[in-house]
Amino acid sequence: MRRPRRLRTTPAMRRLVRETHVHPAQLVLPVFVREGLEAPREIESLPGVRQHTLDSLAGVIDEAAAAGIGGVMLFAIPEVRDATGTAACAADGILNLAIARAAEASAGRLVVMADLCLDEFTDHGHCGVLAADGSVDNDATLEVYAQMALAQARAGAEVLGLSGMMDGQTAAVRAALDAEGLIDVSILAYSAKYASAAYGPFRDAVESELVGDRKAYQMDPANRREGLVESTLDEAEGADIVMVKPALPYLDVLADVAAASAVPVAAYHVSGEYSQIEAAAERGWIDRRVAHLEAVTSIVRAGADIVLTYAAVEAATWLKEDM
Q: Which residues are catalytic?
A: 193, 245
**CA-wise closest residue to 199 among 208, 191, 186:** 208
10 Å CB burial of residue 79 (0-12, 13-18, 19+) is exposed
Contact between 265 and 228 (Cβ < 8 Å): no
Burial of 6 (0-12, 13-18, 19+ CB in 10 A): exposed
Residue 124 and residue 209 in contact, taking contact as beta carbons nearer than 8 Å: yes
Cα-based distances in Å from 198 to 78, 120, 160, 185, 280:
23, 17, 23, 30, 15
Q: How many CA atoms lie within 13 A of 183 on its CB side?
A: 2
**Upper half-sphere CA count for residue 31 (Cβ side, 13 Å):** 33
- What is the rounded distance in angstroms from the CA atom of residue 12 to the CA atom of residue 323? 10
First to last CA, the chain: 32
Backbone phi, psi, residue 130, to 5°: -100, 145
Do the Cβ atoms of 254 and 304 come closer than 8 Å? yes
